[in-house]
Amino acid sequence: MVSSGLPSAAHFQLLKDEGVNRVIDLIPGDRLQEQQVVEGLSLNYHNVQVEWENPTLANFKEYIGYMALGNSNDDKVLTHCKLNWRGAVFTYLYRITALGESELSAKQDLLAIWQPNQTWFAFMNTVIDDFNAGNNANISTTVTPQIEPPK
């Protein structure tokens, strides 16, 4: 799996050449143009409408559902948004919950892209708490929220 900011049509072709066969777009709104470009390259396209100021547990569960559509270890998925901030958080959460990867390793990759703000930090904890409750698990995040200046 890979994540990125908003790819151009040329980028989608390069990603296909690198083995990406599915795209999960986390940008809300009318995404028909991108869907047509992606499907025109014979790639699978999915859109999860994630509002920047209000990411939800339902958004993440929808994302997990699309990730589960993969049928082999050869399946390569691009998760993207506008700046790769949503994508980085969704990828981080997927890695530590669904894949059981090391939180510290996933954290390192996340922080290479951005340090989540309070909204996204709260979202991360909501997803982790739900995962722990449903799986009798005890994972936690070591990510700290970005300190935002007072308005």
Q: Which long-range contacts (CB under 8 A, 24 or more apart) does 94-98 make?
A: 94/1, 94/63, 94/64, 94/67, 96/128, 96/139, 96/141, 97/127, 97/128, 97/131, 97/139, 98/64, 98/67
Using 50 as the pLDDT threshold, list the residues of the chain that sit under it.
none
* CATH class of the domain whose range is 2-135: alpha beta
Per-domain residue ranges of the chain: 2-135
State the pLDDT at residue 70. 80
pLDDT digits (tens, 9 = 90+) for 6-36: 999 999 999 999 999 999 999 999 999 999 9
Q: Check: pTM over 0.85? Answer yes or no.
A: yes
Instruction: Kindly list the distances between the CA atom of residue 96 and the CA atoms of 30, 32, 35, 51, in Å, as whole numbers in the listed order.
Output: 30, 31, 28, 22
